[in-house]
Structure 1
Amino acid sequence: MRIRRTSLLAVVALAATFAMTGPPASAESDQPRLPTPESEVNVTGEPFTGTAPDGTVQGLIDAHSHMFMQDGIGGAAVCGKAWSEAGIADALQDCPSHGIAGETALLENLTRTGSPLGFHDTTGWPSFADWPAHDSLTHQQMYYRWVERAWRAGQRTLVVQLTSNKALCQINPGTNQSCDEMTAVRKQAQDAYDTQAFIDEQYGGEGKGWYRIVTDPGQAREVIEDGKLAVVLGMETSEPFGCSQKLHLPSCTRANIDAGLDELKSLGVSSMFLCHKFDNALCGVRYDKGTTGLLVNAGQFLTTGTFWTPKSCDPGQPHDNNPRLVERPKELDWLPQPPIYPSGTVCNPYGLTSLGEYALNGLIERGMMVEVDHMSAKAAGQAFDILEAADYPGVLASHSWMDERYLDRLYALGGFSTIYGHNTDQLLEEYSRTAPIRDRHGAGIGFGFDMNGFGGTPGPAKSQVTYPFRSVVGDSMIDRQVTGQRIWDYNTDGVAHYGMVPDYVEDLRLTGGQDVIDDLVRGPDSYLRTWAGARAAAD
């Protein structure tokens, strides 16, 4: 979860007709029994199955998104659910706290315009006049039919990160669920299994739907070869297993860690972050910079009792972002005042704690994948030392939050990295910058869209996407996405919701050429090889 400047400012400051346009059914029993009315998919053609001639699986992978954020951060951070038995009109409702015309939607207004004052159409189905949108961070972007559109257009792997943040939950107006992060993780895991059952029912019963939760790489490969979406569960929280710290004193034990890891395995979780945003009892974090850094640092202080303590370090070595502000914005004068930090290159002096090393080894013993994004440069370096000593391939950097100097070590182990779902030009710049390292190791690439994660999604196209267009893998035709009375066009709307991911990929093809597409299509196979290596090393 990446928190954009205005979104964290908001939280801290606040202390129509049925249509099915999927593949032609081969038999009457294959026709899904969808609720009526329902969102359209607007993709035609049979989902591709099987493997490439060389035996590898193909498709696209998003290794970092938050499908069930409606049950994260106290249940009040994202308006609308991924689905509802009562139908789309029930699922995609605005938050009651937004008022009649959005006049009391302080979080939405601040994240969208920077002002606490604002209005938006709160109707939802069928007009969706103002949301979902690429710059609206408080409305559901992963309704299940929009995810289905991405699958039908060629996506074959989705890592659903179970997430919450206790500190933000406690000060977010409208909170209506427990702020305990592990409680939210359990609830979101159940959401995932309920989603699988909901989609199965549409296709005739257990195991017949396109949304398949997988818990090992062999199972994932079978799902992909069958032409369905392999859904992997991960966890990204700031206090995993209650492992917070106050004044550098830990609030958890080795027993808590063992019990927590065993519970994650029982829930079907296959990867996790040891820390996220705030220093915790397991590791120090990689800082946010600029105004975002000021805001997150305030959260660090409120959560742990201490500000970040960056130290000057060698610019030629992996380091952290510098949270120093040249000028403090006047509207943030009321925030706790952090110390004056050094200019230039800085590092978080906190790395892996002894409990962090214990948790990392616990992940290795259980064959689970380790997310190194959000770790401080020191913590990441220590993690790589442990992973290399164990010859353990199961390491992930899923959304561009690791110092790129570590990429060689990651790929040498057999790990997998993705690029955050930036605007097209930003993604292509990062792709080109990191390509020589990937090429040395023959690695495919993926996205980390962080959808519903408060980081924002790509804006309108850089090239002119012409509809309909053909999928970059398989043989599907993709037209403009329609939900109710709303027709989304990537050229003007960008990635307003998850169903627009295929349109974004077409923009990448037009702007960046076939090489980036070829590397993206190889992404799922690279991810599965990392996962398989982790399981083999643990056995």
Structure 2
Amino acid sequence: MRRSAARMLTVVLLLAASLVSPFTGATAQAGPAESAAEVRGFVDAHSHLFSYEAFGGKLMCGRPFHPDGIAQALKDCADHYPNGELAWFENFTRTGSPTGTHDPAGWPTFADWPAHDSLTHQQAYYTWVERAWRGGLRILVNHLVANRQLCAIYPLRKNSCDEMDTLRLQAQRARELQALIDAEHGGPGLGWFRIVNDAAEARRTVAAGKLAVVLGVEASEPFGCRQTLGIPHCTRGQIDRGLDELHALGVRSMYVCHKYDNALCGVRFDSGTQGAIVNLGNLLSTGSFWQARTCTGAEHDNTIEPGGVLPDQLAGLLPPGVSLPLYPPAPHCNTRGLSGLGEHMVQGMMRRGMLVEIDHMSVKAADRTLDLLEAAGYPGVISSHSWADPGYFGRIYALGGMITQYGHDAEHFVAEWRRTEPLRQAHQVAGYGYGLDVNGMGQLPGPRAAGPVGPVTYPFTSFDGSVSLDRQRTGQRVWDVNTDGVANYGLVPDWIEDMRLIAGAEFVQDMAAGAESYLRTWEAASTRPAAAPGISASAPSGGP
């Protein structure tokens, strides 16, 4: 391989690593009907069912559905055959080395994938999501995802790298899946998978015994709002038009920035080697490394390590004439906060009753965003997968917002639930949730090591007693959470049962109140006055 090609391959590997039907596992004919007065069940506030269309559409293998059935949906990428030896991206994200092998056959044997630590293979086939719904899931927030920089450097692609094009395509795929499930259940509106536009519709959907699906967006440069050396590439008018379009597509929850600084806000840093890699991505995306200062307040961004510079093995990837960054002593805070354009976007989201996702914002940006929300009395704020500074949790709860935890392993998840319980009690928050981040290039919960609490025994009963769940079977493969962890989305009820064994009935009751807690936040955001103090009813469409 020529030196330039090898260098590009290394960049792709490192940047990518940093981002973080046969249904036989449950016996029930339909999800249990819920009271319209109060929803009981689980909420996943952060997952990516359609990310296979992101990053150019060739990075992730398999689909959540296919018109020609499961055999076409759950097959490996063409470049992974015959034995996975050429699947350098899968190998790198799974083991840290670009070399390795795996059995590329998905359906019907599933010998090597899906798996909790296989980050490029489909983990959310729709019948697996169905098993999770039957096991207690009531609200699923599906984030449409895009990252122009990763798409641009990955050598294989079939889709545009334009982030708005990517979001439009994934929204279309979500509607197509809803139509397919409807067709399987008798016609339009009869399927269990329902995309909802407001909290009232979500309540009606759950009351009818179906899964309420909310569309969100997690993009690095929404509306083309990248920046180069501090110069924005978008205007207020673009933001207004972009928000209108996404709202019309059904998007109700959204990030302002993600991973790389953009024209809207600075990001919360990643740490360690991953931080160095994402910092390199920031350079490629914006023309500069992260800019950090030593924090003076209690909240801070993650520490840039080691010493705030790239590891020696990455030095050769720097463009000619670019020096390595040097940073002041920790704790580190991004000097970039919420820009004027970012404030315009947050205000536009409030006017439209959308949920503001605060994860991935720098503390400077998050602090200003919370100031805006508090001034407006706006409760529509959420930390959906553990990427906000915990010092902001009290302010989020005081506003009436929602916090859901990343899908960690069972013991880690329970420990965080226990740690934050006094804060929820102080703010009278009943309910807890998870953000599994499925298909988000992060590991799903692995199997729990043997300990004083016994393993999950099969069959077990769902939290409300309506469904008996045996080991999940698809094709010729049978999964067991005790040995496989959450290898795919269908094993979420098993993961929750494992946590019940660790933490008891109180934990399950908090989780079962999660969907209701989410809906109350969404309802409060949707019913606030149309124009809050300092927010005009119609925003200007001029420049930045």
Q: Distance in 2 between matches of 1:405 and 1:50?
A: 35
Aligned residue number for residue 352 of structure 2: 366
Which of the residues 405, 412, 428 maps onto 1:426? 412
1:272 aligned to 2:254? yes
Q: How far is the alpha carbon of 1:39 from its aligned partner?
A: 2.2
Which of the residues 371, 389, 409 maps onto 1:385? 371
1:169 aligned to 2:137? no
Aligned residue number for residue 13 of structure 2: 10
Q: Distance in 2 between matches of 1:201 and 1:78?
A: 27
Which of the residues 442, 447, 450 maps onto 2:434? 447
1:304 aligned to 2:295? no
Aligned residue number for residue 306 of structure 2: 325
Q: Is the 8 A contact 1:461 1:504 kept in 2?
A: no
Q: Is the 8 A contact 2:16 2:150 kept in 1?
A: no
Q: Distance in 2 between matches of 1:59 and 1:451?
A: 19
Q: Structure 2 regions of 5+ residues with no counterpart? A: 1-8, 531-544
In structure 2, relative to structure 1, the CA distance for the partners of 1:354 and 1:118 (3 Å cut) is same
Which of the residues 435, 443, 446 maps onto 1:456? 443
Q: Distance in 1 between matches of 2:315 and 2:288?
A: 18
1:408 aligned to 2:394? yes
Q: Distance in 2 between matches of 1:116 and 1:220?
A: 44
Q: How far is the alpha carbon of 1:185 from its aligned partner?
A: 0.3
Q: Is the 8 A contact 2:432 2:514 kept in 1?
A: yes
Q: Distance in 2 between matches of 1:193 and 1:284?
A: 33
Q: How far is the alpha carbon of 1:8 from its aligned partner?
A: 8.3
SS in 2 for 1:380: helix
Could you report, residue by residue, the CA deviation over 1:279-335 in whole angstroms, capped at 9, with x for unpaired residues? 100000000000110000000000000000110012x51110011215965543434
SS in 1 for 2:245: helix
Alignment map for 1:78-477 (pairs within 5 Å): 78-314=60-296, 317-326=298-307, 329-336=311-318, 338-443=324-429, 444-462=431-449, 463-477=454-468
SS in 1 for 2:56: helix
Aligned residue number for residue 42 of structure 1: 25
Q: Distance in 2 between matches of 1:213 and 1:266?
A: 13
Alpha-carbon RMSD = 1.7
Q: Is the 8 A contact 2:12 2:154 kept in 1?
A: no
Letter in 2 for 1:319: H
Q: Distance in 1 between matches of 2:335 and 2:16?
A: 29
Q: How far is the alpha carbon of 1:377 from its aligned partner?
A: 0.4
Letter in 1 for 2:443: G
Could you report, residue by residue, the CA deviation over 1:250-300 in whole angstroms, capped at 9, with x for unpaired residues? 000000000000001110000100000001000000000001100000000
Aligned residue number for residue 51 of structure 1: 35
Q: Is the 8 A contact 1:98 1:104 kept in 2?
A: yes
Letter in 1 for 2:444: T
Q: Distance in 1 between matches of 2:11 and 2:49?
A: 20
Q: Distance in 1 between matches of 2:226 and 2:529?
A: 28
Could you report, residue by residue, the CA deviation over 1:339-385 in whole angstroms, capped at 9, with x for unpaired residues? 12223211111110000000100001111110000000010000010
Which of the residues 490, 493, 504 maps onto 2:495? 504
Q: Is the 8 A contact 1:324 1:341 kept in 2?
A: no
In structure 2, relative to structure 1, the CA distance for the partners of 1:99 and 1:469 (3 Å cut) is same
Q: Distance in 1 between matches of 2:107 and 2:35?
A: 39
Q: TM-score, normalised by structure 2?
A: 0.91
Q: TM-score, normalised by structure 1?
A: 0.92
Q: What is the aligned-residue identity percentage?
A: 53
Q: Is the 8 A contact 1:254 1:358 kept in 2?
A: yes
Letter in 2 for 1:117: T
Aligned residue number for residue 23 of structure 1: none
Q: Is the 8 A contact 1:81 1:143 kept in 2?
A: yes
Q: Distance in 2 between matches of 1:8 and 1:423?
A: 30
1:63 aligned to 2:54? no
SS in 1 for 2:261: coil
Equivalent pairs counted in the alignment come to 508
SS in 2 for 1:430: helix
SS in 1 for 2:316: coil
Q: Is the 8 A contact 2:460 2:468 kept in 1?
A: yes
Q: How far is the alpha carbon of 1:7 from its aligned partner?
A: 11
Q: Is the 8 A contact 1:165 1:238 kept in 2?
A: yes
164-173 or 239-248: which moved more? 164-173
Moved over 6 A (4+): 6-9
343-352 or 234-243: which moved more? 343-352
SS in 2 for 1:334: helix
